[in-house]
Chain A
Amino acid sequence: MNKIKEWLLVKFDKDKAMNPYVAGALTGLLIILSVLVSGNYFGTSTSFVQLIAILENTIAPERMAQIRYFTIVDPVWSWQIFFVMGILLGSFATAKIFGEFKWQSIPDLWRDNLGSSKYKRMILAFLGGIIAMIGARLAGGCPSGQMSALILLSVSGLAAMTMFFIGGIVAARLIYGGGEK
């Protein structure tokens, strides 16, 4: 078991994380393999729309039929829905194996800058989720989908990724005050 753990870590740094270049390169290979085996590029934001469509189709099918967007995104159990469920399972199992699973409501960096009010954290997380998803749908995908777009050398991937970071850098500076303690 310890041997396996050591091998999986690949390289230790100060917080015992896998080297980001190694993990990134393996992710790149995983994307290539996924495209070869099943023709699927990575992407996650469509799965949220599909799950909402499936839910609305179950509880209010007449209403669902009137929503134009759901003629573009089908209410079906897709590769992508199983992909995100896999991310949840994979991360959970790995965190457990490496003893890093921890219930936490307020991240350290948040606490250092904005204090320990749970309500404040939850409200911003919820609103941030709404804004991020609307933005991702408009831009044609979230970072994982834009990674795929950039792999394909799409102009949209480069433009969207640049805008993500511009928006993120400006907003983070305003919210977290430059990150100084």
Chain B
Amino acid sequence: MTNLIYGLITGILFGFLLQRAHVIRFDKQVGAMLLKDMTIVKFMFTAILVGMVGIYMLADLNVLQITGRTMVTGGVIVGGALFGIGWAMLGYCPGTSWGALGEGRLDALVGIAGLFTGAAIYSEIYPALENTLLTWGNYGNLTIPDALGVNHWLIIVLFVLGGVLMFRWFEKVKL
């Protein structure tokens, strides 16, 4: 129960930030895909960099443990490309569609109906995928530093440097 209340409060705070930064808007999401407006990339990548540094610091202090997410190459490549196509058509991603509905966007509500339909379809076709596409190139819970055999801070520093250079370029060319 407490866990559910934490979920609700975290969601409300995230909803506040998404709305205030205008990143839940169709024009911003599709604008990024058309390479005309990088607002959502600035938002997402800054969140990732801050989260990365914080979570790995806490892991080094033994406050928490890190496990990577499962890398199934077939699922990630095919699913990733499919998601990108659907995302361009809908103009919202699953989380932001709820936020867009909160702002009064009715196309997001139709999109949410589509997302639920997709979830139902996936549950029906899963048996066919389970032993085919979802077995191709399974690397388990692989992290980038483990894959390369280097210290995680080297990768984090590279991500931060890459991010800062990308942000500077965005601001220079006014994207």
Whether the Cβ atoms of A79 and B4 lie closer than 8 Å is yes
- Of all chain B residues, the one with the shortest Cβ separation from A43 is B95
Q: How far is the CB of A101 from chain B (nearest CB, A)?
A: 5
Which residues 71-86 of A have a CB within 8 angstroms of B? 77-86
Do B27 and A107 touch (CB < 8 A)? yes
B20, B112, B129, B143, most chain A CB atoms within 10 A? B20
The residues of B that contact A103 with a CB separation of less than 8 Å are 104, 106
Contact assessment for B20 and A52 in the assembled complex, using a CB-CB cutoff below 8 Å: no
Shortest beta-carbon distance from A9 to chain B in Å:
7
Judging by beta carbons under 8 Å apart, are A150 and B86 in contact?
no
In the complex, the answer to whether B48 meets A160 with C-beta atoms within 8 Å is no
B78 pairs with A171, CB closer than 8 A: no
* A124 close to B6 (CB less than 8 A): no
Contact with A along B13-50 (1 / 0, CB 8 A): 11111111111111100111111100110111111111
0 or 1 for each of A96-109: is its CB under 8 Å from B? (1 = yes): 00101111111111
A148 to B28, CA, bound (A): 21
Using Cβ atoms and an 8 Å threshold, which residues of chain B touch A109? Answer: 26-27, 30-31
Neighbour of A87 across the interface among B51, B99, B107, CB < 8 A: B99
From A49, A83, A121, A162, give the contact of B10 (CB < 8 A): A83
Residue of B nearest to A21 (CB): B46
From B64, B85, B107, B119, residue with most partner A Cβ within 10 Å? B119
A164 touches B5 (CB 8 A): no
CB of B149 closer than 8 Å to a CB of A: no
B130-168 Cβ-contact flags toward A at 8 Å (1 or 0): 100110000101111101000010011000000000010
Do A129 and B12 contact each other (CB < 8 Å), given the known contacts A68-B127, A91-B103, A160-B79?
A: no
Closest to A171 in B: B88
Point out the residues of chain A lying under 8 angstroms from B78, CB to CB. 135, 138
Bound-state CA distance A86–B13 (Å) is: 8
Tell me the nearest residue of chain A to B59, going by C-beta: A152
CA distance A30 to B12 in the complex (A): 11
Whether the pair B94, A85 counts as a contact (CB closer than 8 A) is: no
Decide if B4 touches A128 in the complex (CB within 8 Å): no
A168 pairs with B27, CB closer than 8 A: no
CB of A61 closer than 8 Å to a CB of B = no
Q: In the bound complex, do residue B7 and residue A79 qualify as a contact, i.e. CB atoms below 8 Å apart?
A: yes
| Contact of A168 with B8 in the complex, beta carbons under 8 Å | no
Q: Pull 21 A–B residue pairs with CB atoms less than 8 Å apart, ordered by A.
A: A18-B17, A20-B40, A29-B54, A42-B14, A44-B94, A44-B98, A52-B119, A67-B126, A78-B4, A82-B8, A91-B19, A122-B110, A129-B116, A132-B114, A133-B115, A142-B83, A158-B144, A164-B84, A164-B87, A166-B80, A171-B85
Binding site for A on B (CB under 8 A): 2-27, 30-36, 39-40, 42-52, 54-56, 58, 63-64, 66-73, 75-91, 93-95, 97-108, 110-127, 129-130, 133-134, 139, 141-145, 147, 152, 155-156, 167
Interface residues of A (CB under 8 A from B): 8-9, 15, 17-21, 23-32, 34-40, 42, 44-45, 48-49, 51-53, 56, 67-70, 77-95, 98, 100-110, 121-122, 124-144, 147-173, 175-176, 178-179
